[in-house]
Chains A and B, each alone.
Chain A
Amino acid sequence: MLGSLDARIPAGSLDSKWTDHKFSMRLVNPNNKRRFDVIVVGSGLAGASAAASLGELGYRVKVLTYHDSPRRAHSIAAQGGINAAKNYQNDGDSVYRLFYDTIKGGDYRAREANVYRLAEVSVDIIDQATAQGVPFAREYGGLLDNRSFGGAQVSRTFYARGQTGQQLLLGAYSALMRQVAAGTVELNTRSEMLELVMHDGRAVGVVTRDLITGEIVPHSAHAVVLATGGYGNVYFLSTNAKMCNVTAAWRAHRKGALFANPCYTQIHPTCIPASDDFQSKLTLMSESLRNDGRIWVPVAHEDGREPHEIPDADRDYFLERKYPAFGNLVPRDVASRNAKTVVDEGRGVGPLRNGVYLDFSGAVARDGEAVIRAKYGNLFDMYERITGEDPYTVPMRIYPATHYTMGGLWVDYELMSNVPGLFVLGEANFSDHGANRLGASALMQGLADGYFVLPYTIGNYLSDFLGDPALGTSEPVFADAEQAVADEMNRWLSIGGTRSVDHYHRELGKLVWDYIGMARNKTGLEKAISEIPALRDEYLRNVRVLGSADTLNQSLEKAGRVADLFELGELMARDALAREESCGGHFREEHQTEEGEAMRDDENFTHVAAWEWNGEGTPQTRHREELEFENVELSQRSYK
């Protein structure tokens, strides 16, 4: 029914596409903007920036977030920084280089036009954030400081100590609250979207559940914007916040929105290893640590010595050894996979032998402890709080953990999904990072989408509906969706099983980590495809959700989210199985070079896989969007 997917990429040369397209898109005049209702679900960088910008333009915006305050969205936890092609350091950066690095870093699985636009608007983001009062790091001359970040050979990363995400989000949040006070944005906190409402094939609203009272509330609008983040919590243990989930995107998928490249997940190389079974999440240590820390494991298997007792000759600085040019700064997927290799070899360190050392003794000796403290003090403190060890004297232990998901709802060049009226921003869409995201690019993409792309493209869609009021919430489509939510709540409460939601989530996470983790193979993926639905069936029969639906009930909230993660996990396995190549974060053991590097199959897989929901129990249909590279020549990534 869909045919081949058309991303509606404008014609013209790469560097003029966005400029030309902005001119050719239809506008909504200022007086008419206030006649359009837009729902924004999610209040992270993408959602808050979009809602604030749309509010400033004069649209009537409604923000829905399940948090108690928009400021708590998980964008806040990003530590390292945000890329922008400002070339303030005069080291050869340019829009084209940022574009090129992003395409290459994404292993040639992203759309050229989208990525170029992202690089173009990146410079505006820094201007906007600075004007909002985001306290980026500065040089003594008062100008902005930059640092280099994993996978880049130029210093283009702007940062705010180890809290860049928090500071950028507070900027977007402040802009949002300004619009709330101005009356252009209506803020609904503790409202979780549980259904997308469709009418005549278009997205016309959503249904939410009030997490405090359980009230089921319909919301109608001319367009719905999802900015609901990624699905890394399918692994249970990830660096994502506890509440992160796929539900909003998944409910849209179930209503017809295509889910693209679900198997592209990013494993972050520098997280604190799990210490025991009760571990509830993994904590990321900023990738910037790799600028000064050296990664090593003992040469000997099961070397029982303390790190300081191991002489240099008995240490294997495996990244420096294998990748002399990039050393410890190789891209995330390369660093992660190499760590997995040495741990699988039995050379892991720490009580559970599940980590590698990240050693700062050289940097402390070279620069002095004060310099290292100034750069990484808060990260070192955090490490010590969690592990009880002092990283100034004892090497940190790190191990990869799921961090970011490149896959997400399919969107076209205008960030609209295949469902008309449904726009998807930030990590929730699949658009800009291909098969692997570069460090410090997530914040860039979220803000680019929200501040500088959606505010233009949404007008192009809305201008068709001038004069049409939004569908009333008394229409049957809303009543049906509300009923579906009520039924779902009753279903969870009436199962009356024996195990908690978290128990099943943890079990699901283990399956997904084992079979669809850092390295995948056919056998494992086939197992996942049979075991995940089996566990899901048990979940639906045996989960225990206590209490009622008319109060704050955290088990009930989680029950639906975990059910969606089950379905997503299965789709990830199907996607990973169908993609018979290795690219970026998707590493198929069958497809590797003799040196163990990822081997792409450009002939057969230079495309986006976008999956169409076919109803419960029926596998999704795989659609393709061919990727055309007119400006960049596909090459094997090499960081040697």
Chain B
Amino acid sequence: MAQTVSRVSTPPPVRSEPRVRLPWPLSIYQTAVGKKWVMGLTGAALLGFIVVHMIGNLHLYEGPLEIHEYAETLRDLGTKIIPRTWLLWAMRFGLIAAFGLHIHSAYSLSRMSMAADQRYPGGRNYIAANFASRTMRWTGPIIGLYLFYHLADLTWGWFNPDFVRGDPYHNVSESLGSIPVAILYIVANVALAVHIFHGTWSMFQSLGVNSPRYNHLRRYLAGGLAGIILVGNLSFPIFVQAGVIDDNGRSIVEELQQHEAAEGEEN
């Protein structure tokens, strides 16, 4: 950590030294630029997850059995080496850690900036800052809350009386078939796309990936990623509402499982 340069008289610092100095490399996280690095890296990881998740979900359009098989394949990952679902759980823990760090760094950096900033009573006239960059501290929490709902709804089945474990097609069509839920998904995914638009571009800056010749591509990439994720993710509530994804309340997977169970008894 830098020595406080007490020999230049200054106004009092807005940020004090950390109470506990963590060992290297954790100490990097105690600095703002270090936190921005962590935010960028975890953002990249989360973004990777979101892209893969969105692409995987496109199996919905193949039909209930195909998406079911896709889900089972995820659980089967790495089974030749380690027990079933272990790799999936490892990835889940990784994502949870990334998510936690992303939120913590955002929270503490926001606190730091709020301490450093003073309001202009006459107002600011933004020139470069766009809607996305200025709403990161809003879109972030919206995504967080949405994620909780999303897990509770489609993973844990808390809010869905017809929830069938292991039948994404059924669960999605049941959940998103409700108009309020569909609207909630649409709003949240718009927020997600906006967050990704600034986050992707910002990540390059925070991680120091910058080469003037290619810099203009970063905006395209950010816009492209945000757009693809927006279109892909919005397609689900829209197509459920349009009736394209619909199992008429009957869970094929459930029937299949009952069928398998019955066969097992018979044998």
> Which residues of A are interface residues toward B (Cβ below 8 A)?
177, 180-181, 183, 186-187
Give chain B's interface secondary structure class: loop
Residues in B with CB closer than 8 Å to A183 are 7
CB within 8 Å of A: which B1-41 residues = 5, 7-8
Residue ID in chain B nearest A188 by CB atoms: B9
Q: A-facing mask of B212-253, CB < 8 A → 1, else 0?
A: 000000000000000000000000000000000000000000
Give the docked Cα–Cα distance between A431 and B8 (Å). Answer: 34
Q: Please count the residue pairs between chain A and chain B whose beta carbons lie under 8 angstroms apart in the complex.
A: 10
Instruction: Return the 7 tightest CB-CB contacts between A and B, nearest first.
Output: A180-B7, A181-B5, A181-B7, A183-B7, A180-B8, A187-B8, A181-B8
Q: Least Cβ distance of A173 to chain B in Å?
A: 12
Residues in A with CB closer than 8 Å to B7 are 180-181, 183, 186-187
Q: Least Cβ distance of B11 to chain A in Å?
A: 12
Residue ID in chain B nearest A180 by CB atoms: B7
Give the docked Cα–Cα distance between A186 and B8 (Å). Answer: 8
Q: Least Cβ distance of A100 to chain B in Å?
A: 44
Residues in A with CB closer than 8 Å to B5 are 181
Q: Least Cβ distance of A212 to chain B in Å?
A: 12
Residues in B with CB closer than 8 Å to A181 are 5, 7-8
Residue ID in chain B nearest A179 by CB atoms: B7
Can you list 7 A-B pairs, Cβ within 8 angstroms, ordered by A?
A: A177-B8, A180-B8, A181-B5, A181-B7, A186-B7, A187-B7, A187-B8
Given contact pairs A180-B7, A183-B7, A187-B8, enumerate 4 new A-B contacts (beta carbons under 8 Å).
A181-B5, A181-B7, A186-B7, A187-B7
Q: Least Cβ distance of B8 to chain A in Å?
A: 6
Q: A-facing mask of B126-140, CB < 8 A → 1, else 0?
A: 000000000000000
Q: Least Cβ distance of B2 to chain A in Å?
A: 11
Residue ID in chain A nearest B3 by CB atoms: A181
Q: Least Cβ distance of B16 to chain A in Å?
A: 20
Residue ID in chain A nearest B5 by CB atoms: A181
Give the docked Cα–Cα distance between A187 and B8 (Å). Answer: 7
Give the docked Cα–Cα distance between A181 and B2 (Å). Answer: 12
Give the docked Cα–Cα distance between A180 and B5 (Å). Answer: 9
Give the docked Cα–Cα distance between A523 and B32 (Å). Answer: 69
Q: Least Cβ distance of A481 to chain B in Å?
A: 24
CB within 8 Å of A: which B61-110 residues = none
Residues in B with CB closer than 8 Å to A180 are 7-8
Residue ID in chain B nearest A182 by CB atoms: B7
Residues in B with CB closer than 8 Å to A186 are 7
Give the docked Cα–Cα distance between A274 and B35 (Å). Answer: 53
Q: Least Cβ distance of A182 to chain B in Å?
A: 8
Give the docked Cα–Cα distance between A183 and B5 (Å). Answer: 10
Residues in B with CB closer than 8 Å to A177 are 8
Residues in A with CB closer than 8 Å to B8 are 177, 180-181, 187
Residue ID in chain B nearest A177 by CB atoms: B8
Q: Least Cβ distance of B5 to chain A in Å?
A: 6
Give the docked Cα–Cα distance between A186 and B9 (Å). Answer: 10
Q: Least Cβ distance of B9 to chain A in Å?
A: 8
Give the docked Cα–Cα distance between A177 and B7 (Å). Answer: 10
Q: Least Cβ distance of A167 to chain B in Å?
A: 22
Q: Least Cβ distance of A327 to chain B in Å?
A: 41
Residue ID in chain B nearest A189 by CB atoms: B9
Q: Least Cβ distance of B24 to chain A in Å?
A: 25
